[in-house]
Structure 1
Amino acid sequence: MHSTREWAWGYLLIAPMALGLAVFYLWPIVQTIYLSFTESGVFGGHTWVGTANFTELLGDEETLGALGNTLLYAVLVLAGVPLAIVIAALLNVPGLRGLGLYRTLYFLPVVTMPAAVGLTWRYLFNGDFGAINYLLSEVGIDGPYWVGDPDFAIYAIAVVGVWSTVGYNAVLFLAGLQGIPRPYYEAASIDGAGRLRQFFHITLPLLTPTTFFVIVITMINALQVFDLVFLIIDLKSPALSGSRTIVYLFFEKGFVYNQRGLAAAIAVLLLGLILVLTAIQFRLQKRWVHHE
């Protein structure tokens, strides 16, 4: 009887969280999956069309292009993870003066409003009077139209993505570094290992759990990029074709063209992509740990 009462109290205490999870997370997922198999009418209502939306999307060059841009952006942003490790290692140096200031400066982009970030970088990337091209002209380099050229736009967006995430990732890595016992480094120093050797043989192996966590979180966030494209790219310029992401395509289909069935199908495809890539990374993590 006592055990049953404890279970009842436990379920009662988690009921508000479980209810919120079901209403605001699970039910929208179920609705989205259902809508992905329907076609929305002009005046409302839905018509069941089966897998027609998915067939149309997978045969659409615009969708495949958006998917390619999204994956390219994710890879470029993930390339900033090693930079975050290096920054965290530098911030972890004992006795570093101004440590609090450095941490604040690196973390500042994380708490800055996306609209402010997007508009500021849009000015910096301007091909005619932007600060970046001005600095390049001072050293004799003719800078391109970063966010006006389809060939450069996604790379410019990725630069902002790395800048926006490196501070948060560095804080996570810094927490991981501070969890490594100092005696390991002391023993390595006694054996004659320098700082570089300690970094590769002690720091990186012991940072493996943090590294995989950062990679997974960074990849999931990168696959959902929308605000940077919406704010930095001129939506009427040809550069949009070279920087349109899968979430931006979802926005176009669902809110511009009112094709809610196609938009829901895009959301389901993105969910599937995230699940597959995350599962692959967890599988690689297990193999890595087993190998170690």
Structure 2
Amino acid sequence: MPADVSESAPAPAAPATRRARRGVRRGDGLWPWAFVLPLLAGVGVFYIWPILQTAFYSFTTWGVFGGFKWSGLDNYGRLFTDPQLYRSLLNTLIYTAVVLLGVPIAAWLASLLNTPGLRFAQFYRVLFFLPYVAMPAAVALVWRMIFNGDYGILNWALSLFGIPGPSWVNTPGFALAAVSVVGLWSSLGFSMIVLAAGLKNIPPELYEAAELDGASRFRQFRSITLPLLAPSVFFVVVVTTIASFQLFDLLYALLGNHNAVLPKTMSLVYYFYSAGFVENDKGFAAAIAMVIFVLIGLVTLLQFRLQRRWAGNA
């Protein structure tokens, strides 16, 4: 019996040990929050608070010399009955659709630049990426010269075939097409670099096996490259869509502030700029900003909902 008592004596100490271990884990769990706190503070001050402030201001009406009063849903009622909202939304969707056409083009270019033995491949990558890092104002200045109706190189090239070119940035319809083409051209570099990184993860044995089976380059691209690039393509599409919905600087620099085609060509963000900084209607501009915020959130949520079907079943 004494032996049995001595063997079972240490058992009551186990709960205390567990409590001590749990206490240590709680203490250790505070350190990650200490490191993350500066980032959370920055996100709260520079992102969360401005969103909440804009949401509040969207329910107010501002005076010419400052000060505001509560107006409820008046700004939203006025906004959703304004034809300019739907025209700006349509222009933004058209621009986004055109820019997204650059994703398969970028995938094809990235595949070509990954060809074994290709000379000057790094030079070509830098050449394609330069438009993405260039200042939008500089890009717009160059393209305004190209699209110029009097001495632009584009109209000169068309005149060689007997085609009279329009004044691209001053004609309704053509102005939006010009902005969309420049946006597509500017986004190719980023998309191509991301997709080229994804191509590095595709085993070369798959291409060798397909070549032995007699598959053409196009068949290899369609059956091997695109399916295995689906996660990278998904990322590029999400980022490109969000950036396209925020179209402003390129449109402003390419068309100018006093262009007669602006009412038929402006994007949602330009619509916000016009209301808030040209007409000085801050409450109405805040309502436009909240609509843009919700639209981008819904489009991004829809894309993530489709991610499993797109990236998983590709």
| TM band (smaller chain) | over 0.9
User: Which of 163, 177, 180 is matched with 1:158 structurally?
Assistant: 180
Report the counterpart of residue 275 of structure 2 in structure 1.
253
Structure 2 unaligned residues grouped into runs of 5+: 1-22
* Cα deviation 1:139-161 (Å, max 9, x = unaligned): 32211111000121101000100
CA shift, 1:126, in A, is: 1.0
Q: Distance in 2 between matches of 1:12 and 1:285?
A: 34
Contact 2:231–2:311 under 8 Å retained in 1: no
Contact 1:153–1:242 under 8 Å retained in 2: no
Q: Which amino acid aligns with 2:87?
A: G
User: Structure 1 280/192 Cα, relative in aligned 2: closer, same or farther at 3 Å?
Assistant: same
* Cα deviation 1:3-33 (Å, max 9, x = unaligned): 1222111111111111111101110011011
User: Which of 123, 128, 151 is matched with 1:129 structurally?
Assistant: 151
User: Structure 1 189/104 Cα, relative in aligned 2: closer, same or farther at 3 Å?
Assistant: same
Deviates further, 36-45 or 89-98: 36-45
* Cα deviation 1:151-208 (Å, max 9, x = unaligned): 2110100010011000110111101111111122222223332322211111111111
- Structure 2-normalised TM-score? 0.90
User: Which of 141, 153, 159 is matched with 2:163 structurally?
Assistant: 141
Q: Distance in 1 between matches of 2:132 and 2:173?
A: 27
* Cα deviation 1:44-72 (Å, max 9, x = unaligned): 22211111111111110112211111111
Q: Distance in 2 between matches of 1:166 and 1:289?
A: 21
CA shift, 1:234, in A, is: 3.5
Map 1:35-46 to 2 at 5 A: 35-46=57-68
Contact 1:148–1:234 under 8 Å retained in 2: no
User: Structure 1 289/138 Cα, relative in aligned 2: closer, same or farther at 3 Å?
Assistant: closer
Q: Distance in 1 between matches of 2:269 and 2:280?
A: 15
Contact 2:234–2:311 under 8 Å retained in 1: no
User: Which of 281, 287, 294 is matched with 1:272 structurally?
Assistant: 294
- TM-align CA RMSD: 1.3
Q: Which amino acid aligns with 1:217?
A: V
Q: Distance in 1 between matches of 2:235 and 2:162?
A: 42
Confirm whether residue 73 of structure 1 aligns to residue 80 of structure 2: no
* Cα deviation 1:86-114 (Å, max 9, x = unaligned): 11111110110001110010001011111
Q: Distance in 1 between matches of 2:83 and 2:153?
A: 35
Q: Distance in 1 between matches of 2:309 and 2:171?
A: 41
Q: Distance in 1 between matches of 2:115 and 2:128?
A: 16
CA shift, 1:136, in A, is: 1.6
Q: Distance in 2 between matches of 1:74 and 1:29?
A: 24
Confirm whether residue 17 of structure 1 aligns to residue 49 of structure 2: no
Deviates further, 38-47 or 146-155: 38-47
Q: Secondary structure at 1:47's aligned position in 2?
A: strand
Q: Distance in 1 between matches of 2:310 and 2:233?
A: 12
Q: Secondary structure at 1:216's aligned position in 2?
A: helix
Q: Distance in 2 between matches of 1:63 and 1:119?
A: 28
Q: Distance in 1 between matches of 2:231 and 2:155?
A: 40
Report the counterpart of residue 103 of structure 1 in structure 2.
125
Report the counterpart of residue 308 of structure 2 in structure 1.
286
Report the counterpart of residue 215 of structure 2 in structure 1.
193
Map 1:113-128 to 2 at 5 A: 113-128=135-150
Q: Distance in 1 between matches of 2:44 and 2:129?
A: 33
User: Rg larger in 1 or in 2?
Assistant: 2
- Structure 1-normalised TM-score? 0.96
Q: Secondary structure at 2:117's aligned position in 1?
A: coil
Percent identical: 48
CA shift, 1:289, in A, is: 4.5
CA shift, 1:239, in A, is: 1.6
* Cα deviation 1:104-137 (Å, max 9, x = unaligned): 1000101111110111111111111112111221
Count matched residues: 292
Q: Distance in 2 between matches of 1:291 and 1:91?
A: 26
